[in-house]
Amino acid sequence: MKGRPDCPRCQGQGLIFDPDPQKPVLVCGCTADVAPDAETLGLPARYREADFARFWKWWNNVQACHARALLDRVADLEDLLARPVDEVGDLEGRDDLVKLLAALKRRPEHGIRPAGADSLFQWASNGKHKFRHGWELWWIHGPAQSGRSTLAAAALRAWTERTGKGGRFVSVRTLSQAIKDAYYDVRSFQNQAFQSVRDLVEPLQDPPLLVLDDWDRMDSDLRVAAALAQLLDHRYSEELPTILTSAGPPEALDRRENHPLARLEDGSLLERLRGAERVEMVPALKPWIERMERG
């Protein structure tokens, strides 16, 4: 635990020790003003230096060879918006496209950044975003090595620094195995601490912000799905912000045969997941250009 370096009471230790050894150690009030460090957040070593500035730089380098071709199509999208509605039909998400093109006029890189990432940045860094379905739930999806976990870690760091509150970054794959081991799986016997499912899940229920990384890598065991569904139900009830990362969008869960969440037959949970704010790890202009080309 860390306190403010200039705090006269704890000298930055975050703890106040009474001269009387019989009296308890107290947590200094200045700790509320210090954002948790990477280790406290549970960030793996790979993501401990993640922040939005580093992420934007990395992403721009990755997309450099495609950026010019995408920006050259902006005029076509503006023409699409200018055409009569009875000619182009009802353009779903028209307002989002208008906002994107307006942002592009200020800074062209907005068209190259991942679709929805600017909204995630504004929410995490400035507290500015209107959630369509009430719950502060984000779904970041994209293929392997697309940067989705790094972006989630950057959002976690920015949010905790802005609010001064804590958070946790959790691998769903690792958590799934731990839950299975809690049932004394004869194939592993890894639960040497004799932890129950409650011991594993309860600490994740109330962190001010929780990142569940690789949600799609949840184990197929129905008991694992039930525990994770209960975790999300609790956070939904308490209105606690949550970020999930996955290879595909929430709708992909419905399409996967025998997926454990589908087997739970929890329509409310699936509906909440489908209502999450989306970040897709492709340049923001790309989905619009592809839609335009499909007609």
Q: How far apart are the C-alpha atoms of 210 and 235, rounded to whole Å? A: 9
Q: How many residues does the chain have?
A: 295
The strand pair at 15-16 and 26-27 is best described as antiparallel
Q: Model-level pTM?
A: 0.83
Which residues are registered as beta bridge partners of 280?
Answer: 115, 141
Tens digit of pLDDT per residue, the chain (295 long)? Answer: 566 666 777 777 777 777 777 666 666 656 555 556 666 788 999 999 999 999 999 999 999 999 999 999 999 999 989 888 777 777 888 889 999 999 999 999 999 999 999 999 999 999 999 898 889 999 999 999 999 999 999 999 999 989 888 899 999 999 998 898 887 654 555 545 557 888 889 999 999 999 999 999 999 899 999 999 999 999 999 999 999 999 999 988 776 667 888 888 888 999 999 999 999 999 999 999 998 888 7
Collapse the DSSP code of 51 into the 3-class scheme (helix H, G, I; strand E, B; otherwise coil) and give the result.
Answer: coil
Domains and CATH numbers, the chain: 1-28 (no CATH), 45-294 (3.40.50.300)
